[in-house]
Amino acid sequence: MSANVLQWDGGPGHYEVYYLSATDPRSGTGLWIRYTMRSSMEGGAECALWFMAMDRDGSRFARKVTHPIDALTAQPDPFWLTLAGADLSDRGMAGDFDDVSWELSWEPSLPAAEHVDPLLRRVGIAKTILVLAHPDLAVSGTVRFGARDLVLEGARGGQAHLWGSKHASRWSWAHANDLRSAEGEPRPGSYLDGVSVFVERFGRQLGPSTPVVGRFGDDDFRSTSPPSVIRNSSRFGLTSWRFEARDGRRRVVGEVDAPRGSLVGVTYHDPDGDPAYCYNSEVASMRINLWDRPSRGRSGWLLRDTLVADGNAHFEYAQRTPVDGVELLVT
């Protein structure tokens, strides 16, 4: 069964998001396309299409259109979703509204990766579930926004699916799958995707909880168990994130930086109506150091590789109040 299958059962108090993040290697333009739905606590529901683009020079573009929930239809197998005429499948997406359009395709290459431990899903502790349905994509096709037309030929990106009842109170997220060695050699098939969240529980803020997933060469990396996400270190702000995560004998140390001028500010709304203010860039940079613990009898950690995404990593920061000095392009 596809990791993209719609989870909404028709009831109140639910939100669901599908998104593609990608960076065009020729123009350097970052793209962020979202298909969303929200069912309020009172039972009314709506769905929306979002299209955002940004460049490292500070050019930013954002559009959103909202529709009644009956504009959304979906089937589970094979997965197919249509929102106001815009389609999404496990092999691409196409749609248009106002002055934007997209017709994009890809071939799935790696299995889905889950950030939330199955135990936490079963007992209902996590209020948002994040699944990276397609971690490592080469996206081709065309996009049009405003007066610009882009032809994508193998633009690297990822497609994810998330759903729940409440966003975190503050979080950071990052993704990179166009990675190279420090010397500039491509590392095909490698990716990293992680999120770090603070949540409100029992009248106070808890966190950060930091699940990190990835693949490096032929080795999967999953730092998602409850002890791991609490133990993983994380410090983040509006334009940067520093984190460290472990999976067995491997340790990942990452640094993400996003140009402030490239951040596209948008507003999310929870099912209960509370807003969250999100600042996103698909032209960020990431540096990853991979450390391995040697076999028994030897101590310490050995640096195995350094991977870099220069201007083609994806980053998001969000909090519950607007950030001064950064425009919200979608409210």
Question: Phi/psi at 213 (nearest 5 deg)?
Answer: -125, 160
Q: Would residue 9 count as lying in a domain?
A: no
- The torsion region of residue 169 among left (phi > 0), alpha (psi -120 to 50) and beta comes to alpha
Q: Would residue 1 count as lying in a domain?
A: no
Contacts of 120-125 with CB under 8 Å at 24 or more apart are 120/226
167, burial (CB in 10 Å: exposed 0-12, middle 13-18, buried 19+): buried
Residue-number span of the structural domain to which 172 is assigned: 14-330
Q: Which residues pair with 213 in a beta bridge?
A: 193, 222
> Which residues are within 8 A (CB) of 70 and not within 5 positions of it... i.e. 6 or more apart?
none
Q: What is the pLDDT of residue 294?
A: 86
Cβ(4)–Cβ(81) below 8 Å: yes
Residues in the chain: 331
CB atoms within 10 A of CB 310: 15
Q: Would residue 276 count as lying in a domain?
A: yes
Cβ(310)–Cβ(43) below 8 Å: no
Q: Would residue 187 count as lying in a domain?
A: yes
Cβ(178)–Cβ(25) below 8 Å: yes
Count of domains forming the chain: 1
Q: Would residue 5 count as lying in a domain?
A: no
Question: Phi/psi at 229 (nearest 5 deg)?
Answer: -70, -25
DSSP, res 16: E
Q: Kindly state the tokens that stand for 138.
A: 């080469």
CATH at 152: 2.40.370.10
Helix, strand, or coil (residue 10):
coil
Q: Count Cα atoms within 13 angstroms, Cβ side, for 23.
A: 23
Q: What is the pLDDT of residue 298?
A: 67
Q: Would residue 296 count as lying in a domain?
A: yes
Rounded CA gap, 11 and 125, in Å? 19
Among 83, 72, 92, which Cα is nearest to 133's? 92
Cβ(110)–Cβ(135) below 8 Å: yes
Q: How close are the terminal C-alpha atoms of the chain, in Å?
A: 35
Q: What is the pLDDT of residue 212?
A: 98
Q: Count Cα atoms within 13 angstroms, Cβ side, for 176.
A: 26
Q: Would residue 206 count as lying in a domain?
A: yes
Q: Would residue 154 count as lying in a domain?
A: yes
Q: What is the pLDDT along the chain (331 residues), one digit of tens a residue?
A: 899 999 999 999 999 999 999 999 999 999 999 999 999 999 899 999 999 999 999 999 999 999 999 999 999 999 999 999 999 999 999 999 999 999 999 999 999 999 999 888 877 778 999 999 999 999 999 999 999 999 999 999 999 999 999 999 999 999 999 999 999 999 999 999 999 999 987 778 899 999 999 999 999 999 999 999 999 999 999 999 999 999 999 999 999 999 999 999 999 999 999 999 999 999 999 999 999 998 765 678 999 999 999 999 999 999 999 999 999 999 9
